[in-house]
Amino acid sequence: MDALTLTVVVLIVYMLAMLAVGYKGRNTSDNFKDFVTAAKRGSFVMVCGSYLGSHIGNGVVVGGAQNGAAYGIGGAWYGVGACLSYIVFSIVVARKLYRSNCLTISECLDKRYGGKVTGTIYAIVNCGAAISIMAGQIVAGKNLFEYLGLDPMMGAVLCSIVVFLYASLSGQWGVMMTDVIQTTVVVVTTLIAIAYMYATGGFTVMHEALPAKDWQLMSMDPELIVMNAIPAMLYGLVSCASFQRNISAKDEETAVKSAFWAAIILLPFVFLPVLIGMYGRALFPDAPAGTIFFKVMLEKFPPVLGALMVAALMAAVMSTVDSQLIYVTASMTNDIYIQFINKHPDEKKLNSLAHVITFVFGLLTLYVALGAKMITTMLSYSYTFLCAGTLVMFVGGIFWKKGTRAGAVAAAIVGMFFVFLYRFCGVKLPFASIFPILPSAIAYVVVSLMTAPKQAE
């Protein structure tokens, strides 16, 4: 059996297994609340494994290899930022969010500031960012099919359909269970690949072929390092996926510790895909960075290992898309439909609506993915947009009692305005990926101080 045939067989078996898990967990989503919280059944292994699955996916694995081919060992900065995001989340907000007993971050914001405007702003901004994040993941499936000489659209569609099906079947429980499986596949296969590289002299080849600067952690431009690491880290504070895992934990200690230990486990791992990308660059200096991961795995590794790694890649795609998709479903149902359309919906109809929303946003994600190229760039832009529009009003609302609803709205508008200036008007900003947070914070403080007395009266 040749490598291509073996790869196809492994992919089919793997995806059928994911659908089986989703089918098995269908009884955990009998109502809307259970659908988005896994009926509060999340054990430490499930929640921690699901945290790992979110970032160990395309951003760290395929995106890390892509960055490694382009920048050397410094390509790991995105992964480092991803690890820090979990540490920040665990230490700063995990306990408070679990105690809030809310279904979404929007609900937390509305409780803090009163009214519906802040929660609605977060819901809209987050849904836009989530579509971009999910699309960035599906790009990998598209790139794989392109490398194999197949229709890239077919790859994107195939990845999307499997995720949409098992996420719809069992909701958050299916997301966490499949994340644990996917994370195990990714970690084990990557470790085997690195061991094979070492045993066959791959590191010697890399040292001989690559320039010395590729082995320096600061091999990237400082602004590029900030763009890769800092938005990913700050995203941890307002991450809808992290929030959903947090409230799905069986108890408070599980909710807090699982995020922290996921970061500790993930940190050394983020350098491994980067090394695979560097190995690919040493062997294939003219290959596009977007396909280097597939090229080295399917042409330089044993067929079985290559096929398993491709299955790991599909795992990487799905482990991030599924969690984002579930949160978008929760947000659109709880924060838009219930808030503005039907305040007292029938539970059965609400559950059916959640499944429809999952499917519709899946299609939107697929549409965006078909036009996307660079994985980590899309993720970084998404994190920048989300942090600019929501970070200050969310964190400020938790830790500053004088923050007001008007201040929160001003912070969101100002932050997104500066992102708009940078992305669409060509305005040069220092460290543009995080700069909008500064004027957003200033607006929050100034407007809150101006409006606090009026609200008090």
Within a domain: 374: no
Mean pLDDT calculated for residue range 386-404: 90
Distance CA 229, CA 353 (A): 37
The type of residue at 260 is: F
Question: Residue 87: is its pLDDT beyond 90?
Answer: yes
pLDDT of 371 reads 66
Give a yes or no: residue 373 inside a domain.
Answer: no
CA-CA-CA-CA dihedral for 282, 195, 200, 288, to nearest 10: -20
Q: What is the pLDDT of residue 217?
A: 87
Q: Give the CATH number, domain containing residue 74.
A: 1.20.1730.10
Can you tell me the mean pLDDT for 107-115?
A: 89
The answer to whether 451 and 407 have CB atoms below 8 angstroms apart is yes
Q: What is the pLDDT of residue 201?
A: 93
Query: Lowest-confidence range among 36-45, 84-93, 314-323, 398-407?
Result: 314-323
pLDDT, mean of residues 43-67: 82
Q: Mean per-residue pLDDT for 78-93?
A: 91
- pLDDT at position 10 is 75
Separation CA 55–CA 131 (nearest Å): 16
Condensed to tens digits (0 to 9), the pLDDT of residues 3-19 reads 667 777 777 777 777 76
| β-pair partners for 249 | 42
Bigger pLDDT: 101 vs 146 = 101
pLDDT over 90, % of the chain: 26
Mean pLDDT of 217-232: 82
Whole-number pLDDT of residue 279? 94
Domain count, the chain: 1
For the four alpha carbons of 410, 411, 412 and 413, in that order, the dihedral sign comes to positive
Model pLDDT, residue 194: 93
List of residues 6+ apart from 199 with CB closer than 8 A: none
Highest mean pLDDT among 34-38, 299-303, 305-309, 350-354: 299-303
The DSSP output letter for 286 is: T
The pLDDT of residue 256: 93
The per-residue pLDDT for 455 is 46
pLDDT at position 343: 76
* 227 vs 195 pLDDT, higher one: 195
Distance CA 252, CA 38 (A): 15
Mean pLDDT, all residues of the chain: 82
Q: What is the mean pLDDT of residues 302-312?
A: 77
Does residue 408 belong to any structural domain of this protein?
no
The H or E element that residue 252 is part of is helix 252-269
Residues linked to residue 42 through DSSP beta bridges, in sequence order = 249
Q: Which long-range contacts (CB under 8 A, 24 or more apart) does 340-348 make?
A: 340/116, 347/31, 347/32
Q: What is the pLDDT of residue 443?
A: 96
Per-residue pLDDT, 206? 93
Neighbour tally for 229: CB within 10 Å: 24
Q: What is the structure's pLDDT at 298?
A: 79
- What pLDDT score does 456 carry? 44
Based on C-alpha coordinates, what's the Rg of the chain? Answer: 22
For the stretch 244-276, pLDDT in tens is: 889 889 999 999 999 999 999 999 999 999 999
Of 207-211, 298-302, 409-413, 450-454, the one with minimum mean pLDDT is 450-454
pTM, rounded to two decimals? 0.77
DSSP 8-state symbol, 249:
B
- Domain extent, residue 150, equals 3-26+42-342
Per-residue pLDDT reduced to its tens digit, 122-176: 888 888 887 877 777 777 667 767 766 767 777 777 777 776 666 666 567 777 8
C-alpha–C-alpha distance, residues 262 and 204, integer Å:
32
Average pLDDT over residues 312-321: 65
Task: Check pLDDT > 80 for residue 95.
Answer: yes
| Residue 326 covered by a domain | yes
Q: What's the pLDDT at 362?
A: 76
